[in-house]
Amino acid sequence: MKKNTKEKGSEYIGLKECFGTTTLSFTHAITGVMMSSMLMVYMTEYSGISNAALLASVLLMTA
C-alpha cells in the first residue's frame, strides 16, 4: 500500500481491491473443494468401477 493516501495513482491499493482479491481466492478454494468432493462421490457411488476409491484418490493426487 502506498503510504500517502491522498495521492491515488496506479500503485494505490484500496479496500475494494483487497476485498475483491480475498473474496475471489476464497471463492476459488471453495469451488475447488466442492468439485473435488462431487468427483469423489461420483467415482465411489455412481460409476460402478471396482476399486473406485483408489482410482479417485490417485486422480485427485495427480491433479
- Domain ranges, residue 50: 34-63
- As for how many domains the chain has, the answer is 1
**Is residue 41 scored above 80 in pLDDT?**
yes
Say if 16 falls within a structural domain: no
The pTM of this model reads 0.57
Residue count (the chain): 63
pLDDT in tens, 21-40: 999 999 999 999 899 888 88
Say if 44 falls within a structural domain: yes
Per-residue pLDDT at 29: 93
What is the chain's mean pLDDT, rounded? 80
E strand or H helix at 26, and its extent? helix 15-41
Alpha-carbon distance 50 to 31, whole Å?
28
Say if 11 falls within a structural domain: no
